[in-house]
Amino acid sequence: MFRIVFHTPEIPGNTGNAIRLAAVTGAELHLVEPLGFDLSDTKLRRAGLDYHDLAVVTVHPSLDACFEALGPGRVLAFEPDGTVGHTEISYREDDILLFGKESTGLNEAERAHPRIDELVYLPMRPSRRSLNLANSASIALYEAWRQLDFAGASAPHSA
C-alpha cells in the first residue's frame, strides 16, 4: 500500500490525523526528524484517537535515511507550485507521497532531491498559500486509493 512521508512536521494535530488516516486506509506513515513535537503530545494522541496501535508509523533521522528504508517506489512530492495536478497522476501501490512541513513545505534542496519523481499540486483558489497538511495527505491518498479501486477496503458502513 501507499507510503506517506511527512518531512519535519510541526503540528502534532496534523500528525495525529495522519496516524488515523494511515490506520483506516492501510497506508504507512513515515515521519522525518526533527519533529516539531514529542510523539507523546496530548494533541497528537487526541487527533489520532485510538488508532495509534492500528497504524504503521516509523520515524527516520533524515530524508535520505527515510528513502533508503522505503526502498524502491516513485516519490511524489506535494507542493503548492507543483507541475502536475494530483488527478493527472496514474498512481501505483508502491508510490511514496511526500509532504513538507506545514510552515514552508519542502526547501529548494529537498525539492531537488534525486529520488523525487514529480512535484504534484492540489488545486486551490488563487492567492491562497496552502492547504492543511493532514487534509492534503487525505486528498492525495484517497485519489491514489480510488484509482486502485479501494483495494483492501471493506464494504461501506457508517462512521
Q: What structural domains does the chain harbor?
A: 3-147 (3.40.1280.10)
Which residue would you say has higher pLDDT here, 50 or 36? 36
C-alpha distances (whole Å) from 39 to each of 17, 31, 35, 56, 116 are 13, 11, 8, 14, 27
* Cβ–Cβ < 8 Å for 26, 17: no
**Are residues 97 and 140 in contact, defined by beta-carbon separation less than 8 angstroms?**
yes
Q: What mean pLDDT comes out for the span 74-81?
A: 95
Q: What is the pLDDT of residue 45?
A: 63
Q: Is the pLDDT of residue 49 over 60?
A: no
d(CA 23, CA 21): 5
User: Which pLDDT value is given to residue 46?
Assistant: 64
Check whether 50 has a pLDDT greater than 90. no
Is there a contact between 28 and 66 (Cβ–Cβ < 8 Å)?
no
Instruction: Please check the confidence at residue 69 and state whether its pLDDT lies above 60.
Output: yes
- Taken in order 1, 70, 16, 102, is the CA torsion positive or negative? negative
Q: What is the mean pLDDT of the chain?
A: 91
Q: What is the pLDDT of residues 103-150, one digit of tens each?
A: 999 999 999 999 999 999 999 998 887 889 999 999 999 999 999 999
Q: Residue 100 annotated as binding?
A: yes
Q: What is the pLDDT of residue 38?
A: 85
Where residue 40 falls among pLDDT bands split at 50, 70, 90?
confident
Mean pLDDT of 15-27: 93
* Dist CA 140 CA 147 (whole Å): 11
Contacts of 29 (CB under 8 A, 6+ apart): 4, 6, 15, 18, 19, 21, 22, 55, 56, 57, 58
Chain centre to alpha carbon of residue 84: 17
Residue found by looking up cell 512521508 in the block: 5
- From 1-10, 35-44, 102-111, the region with the lowest mean pLDDT: 35-44
90 is an annotated ligand-binding site residue: no
Task: For residue 122, say whether it is annotated as part of any ligand binding site.
Answer: yes
Look up residue 52 and give its DSSP letter: G
CA–CA distance, 5 with 29 (Å, rounded to integer): 6
